[in-house]
C-alpha cells in the first residue's frame, strides 16, 4: 500500500519519463483566472510587479510562460531553460529573440546573483534532486531576489490526492513524470535548508478540480498517454466545445446560425484583441460559408496575433487551397507541421478536421501533404498521404520518385513500397525481375 518513499519520492521503479515524447507549454496563455494556466500566469505577473532586470523560467518547456512574461513586461530580460530538445526547438521558433538554453535545473548556466527573479511552474516534482535545484536557484538569485514557484502538493493532509496516492494511484508518475511527492511542510523545510525562507503561500484549485484532475489522469491510465499536457489541451480548446456545436449546426443549417456564430466570435475578438482563438474561429465560420477570401483574412489576423499555433496555419492553408493558391497553401501547411507535427492527425481538432473533409480534389491535396511531410523527413506520414492520394485516383503519385522534394524519404522502405504499388506494371516487372 505504501507508495511514498521515505525521502518523499514516489517510490517508483518505472523507467525514466520521456520528456521528448510529451510537450508542455506550447499554447498561448493569457492572465485570466478563468482557467488554470491563466490563473497561474496572473499570480506570477502580480508577483513580478516590483521586479526589474533578469527573470529566469526553469523548466520552460515550449516557452509559453516566458513569452507571456516578455509580452506583459517588455522591460524585463527574460530567459528560459529546459532539458527537452524538442520543447526548446518549438520555443526558439516561436520567440527567436528570447534567450532559451538547454540545461538541467540542478546546473544552471548563469552566474551567481545574476537573476532578479526565478520562476518555476510545476517543475520541482519532476526532478531527481529537488534540493540541488533549490540550491542552484539560491545561487543565481540576487540577495533581494524573488523565487516564485507553483508546486502540486500531492500528499498534503486532508486532500483527495493524498488519499488516492496512499491507495497506490500512480497516474501522474506514469503520464507526467511526477517522481517527487510534496506536502507544504516538506517543501518549506527543503527551501529553508537551501537558504530561502517562504514569504507567502497562496492555495489554488477547488476540491472539485482535484477530482476532475484525478479523473482525467485515471482515464489516461486506461486510454494511454497524451502527447501534450492537459493545460495545453484545455488552453487550445477553451472555446472548442462551443465552436464545434455552432459549426456543426451551421453545416446542417447555414442560414440558421451563421449570424449568431459570427456575432459571438466577433464580440470575443473585440473584447480581447490578443485572443487569437476567437479570430481563428471567425475564420472557420467564413470557411463553412464558402467565403474563402474572408476566411483567409481572419486566419491571417489570427496568425499575426499568435504565430505559434499550428492549427491556424493549417486552416489558412486549407483556405488558400480552396482559392487554388497552391504555393501559399503548401507554405502554410509546412509552417503548421514545423510547429506541430500532429497538426493534420484526425483527432479533436475542430478546424483542421472539418476543413480536411471539405477539400475537393483530395488526390492532389493528399499528394501536397505527402510532399510537405517528405521535406520534413517524416517517411511514415509521407507514405500514408501518398497511399491516400493514390486511393483518391490521383494520376501523378509516381512522380514522387523523381521529385526533389521527396529526396529525404524516397529510399525509405515504407515510401518505396507505396511507390512500387503505384508504379506502372512495366516498371514493377523491371523492378522485380532485373534479369528478365
Nearest to 135 by CA among 162, 108, 156: 108
Specify the 3-state DSSP secondary structure of 28: coil
Q: Which three cell numbers stand for residue 47?
A: 508577483
Cα distances (Å, whole numbers) of residue 136 to 112, 196, 198, 285, 314: 9, 11, 16, 50, 42
Q: Which three cell numbers stand for residue 131?
A: 534540493
User: What pLDDT does residue 407 have?
Assistant: 92
Q: Which three cell numbers stand for residue 173?
A: 508518475
Instruction: Check: CB of residue 22 under 8 Å from CB of residue 228.
Output: yes
- 115-121 and 54-58: which strand pairing? parallel
Name the CATH code of domain 240-432 (choices 1.10.1300.10, 3.90.1010.10, 1.25.40.10, 3.40.1390.30): 1.25.40.10
User: What pLDDT does residue 431 have?
Assistant: 41
Rounded Cα gap, residues 264 and 247, in angstroms: 12
Rounded Cα gap, residues 73 and 67, in angstroms: 10
Query: What string of pLDDT tens digits covers the 436 residues of the chain?
Result: 222 334 455 444 334 666 655 556 667 787 877 677 888 899 999 999 989 999 999 999 989 999 999 999 999 999 999 988 888 998 998 899 999 999 999 999 999 999 999 999 999 998 999 999 999 999 999 999 999 999 988 888 888 888 888 888 888 877 778 889 999 999 999 999 999 988 888 877 666 777 777 787 787 777 666 655 555 555 444 444 344 444 444 344 444 455 666 666 676 666 666 777 778 878 888 887 888 999 899 899 988 988 888 888 888 988 888 888 888 888 888 888 888 776 676 443 434 434 444 556 788 888 988 988 898 888 988 998 899 888 888 888 999 999 998 999 999 998 988 888 876 544 444 444 444 3
User: What pLDDT does residue 167 have?
Assistant: 87
Domain covering 36-227: architecture? 3-Layer(aba) Sandwich (3.40)
User: What pLDDT does residue 239 have?
Assistant: 42
User: What pLDDT does residue 39 have?
Assistant: 86
User: What pLDDT does residue 290 have?
Assistant: 85
User: What pLDDT does residue 174 have?
Assistant: 79
Report which DSSP code applies to 180.
B
Rounded Cα gap, residues 331 and 238, in angstroms: 27
Instruction: Check: CB of residue 355 under 8 Å from CB of residue 322.
Output: no
Instruction: Check: CB of residue 188 under 8 Å from CB of residue 198.
Output: yes
Residue ranges of the chain assigned to CATH 3.40.50.150: 36-227
User: How long is the chain?
Assistant: 436
Buried b / exposed e along 179-217 (16+ C-beta atoms within 10 A): bbbbbeebbeebbeebebeeeeeeeeeeeeebeebbeeb
Instruction: Check: CB of residue 372 under 8 Å from CB of residue 337.
Output: yes
Query: Which pTM value belongs to this model?
Result: 0.54
Residue ranges of the chain assigned to CATH 1.25.40.10: 240-432
Could you tell me which residues come within 8 angstroms of residue 379 by beta carbon, excluding any fewer than 6 positions away? 373, 408, 409, 412, 414, 415
User: What pLDDT does residue 269 have?
Assistant: 63
Instruction: Check: CB of residue 86 under 8 Å from CB of residue 23.
Output: yes
Task: Name 118's bridge partners.
Answer: 56, 147
Amino acid at each position: 500500500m505504501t507508495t511514498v518513499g521515505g525521502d518523499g519520492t514516489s517510490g517508483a521503479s518505472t523507467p525514466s519519463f520521456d520528456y521528448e515524447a510529451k510537450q508542455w507549454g506550447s499554447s498561448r496563455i493569457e492572465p485570466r483566472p478563468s482557467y488554470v494556466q491563466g490563473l497561474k500566469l496572473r499570480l506570477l505577473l502580480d508577483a513580478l510587479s516590483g521586479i526589474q532586470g533578469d527573470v529566469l523560467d526553469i523548466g520552460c518547456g515550449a516557452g509559453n510562460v516566458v513569452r507571456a512574461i516578455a509580452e506583459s513586461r517588455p522591460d524585463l530580460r527574460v530567459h528560459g531553460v529546459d532539458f527537452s530538445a524538442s520543447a526548446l526547438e518549438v520555443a526558439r521558433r516561436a520567440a527567436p529573440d528570447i534567450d532559451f538554453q538547454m540545461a538541467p535545473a540542478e546546473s544552471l548556466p548563469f552566474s551567481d546573483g545574476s537573476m532578479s527573479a526565478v520562476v518555476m511552474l510545476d517543475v520541482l516534482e519532476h526532478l531527481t534532486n529537488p534540493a540541488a535545484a533549490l540550491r542552484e536557484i539560491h545561487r543565481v538569485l540576487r540577495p533581494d531576489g524573488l523565487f516564485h514557484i507553483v508546486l502540486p502538493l500531492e500528499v498534503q493532509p486532508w486532500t483527495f490526492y493524498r488519499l488516492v496516492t496512499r491507495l497506490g494511484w500512480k497516474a501522474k508518475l506514469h503520464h507526467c513524470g511526477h517522481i517527487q511527492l510534496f506536502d507544504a511542510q516538506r517543501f518549506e523545510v527543503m527551501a529553508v535548508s537551501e537558504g530561502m525562507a517562504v514569504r507567502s503561500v497562496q492555495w489554488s484549485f477547488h476540491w472539485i478540480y482535484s477530482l476532475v484532475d484525478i479523473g482525467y489522469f485515471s482515464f489516461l491510465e486506461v486510454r494511454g498517454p497524451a502527447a501534450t499536457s492537459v493545460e495545453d489541451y484545455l488552453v487550445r480548446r477553451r472555446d472548442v466545445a462551443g465552436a464545434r456545436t455552432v459549426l456543426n449546426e451551421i453545416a446542417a443549417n447555414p442560414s440558421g446560425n451563421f449570424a449568431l456564430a459570427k456575432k459571438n466570435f466577433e464580440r470575443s475578438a473585440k473584447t480581447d484583441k490578443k485572443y487569437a482563438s476567437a479570430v481563428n474561429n471567425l475564420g472557420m465560420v467564413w470557411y463553412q460559408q464558402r467565403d474563402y477570401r474572408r476566411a483567409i483574412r481572419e486566419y491571417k489576423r489570427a496568425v499575426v496575433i499568435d504565430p505559434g499555433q499550428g492549427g491556424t496555419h493549417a486552416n489558412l492553408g486549407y483556405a488558400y487551397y480552396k482559392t487554388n493558391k497552391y504555393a501559399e497553401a503548401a507554405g502554410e501547411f509546412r509552417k503548421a507541421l514545423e510547429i506541430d507535427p500532429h497538426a493534420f492527425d484526425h483527432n479533436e481538432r475542430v478546424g483542421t478536421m472539418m476543413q480536411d473533409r471539405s477539400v475537393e480534389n483530395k488526390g492532389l491535396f493528399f499528394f501536397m501533404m505527402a510532399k510537405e511531410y517528405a521535406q520534413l523527413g517524416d517517411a511514415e506520414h509521407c507514405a500514408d498521404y501518398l497511399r491516400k492520394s493514390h486511393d483518391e485516383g490521383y494520376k501523378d503519385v509516381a512522380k514522387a520518385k523523381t521529385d526533389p522534394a521527396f529526396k529525404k524519404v524516397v529510399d525509405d522502405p515504407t515510401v518505396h513500397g507505396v511507390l512500387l504499388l503505384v508504379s506502372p506494371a512495366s516498371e514493377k516487372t523491371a523492378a522485380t525481375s532485373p534479369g528478365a
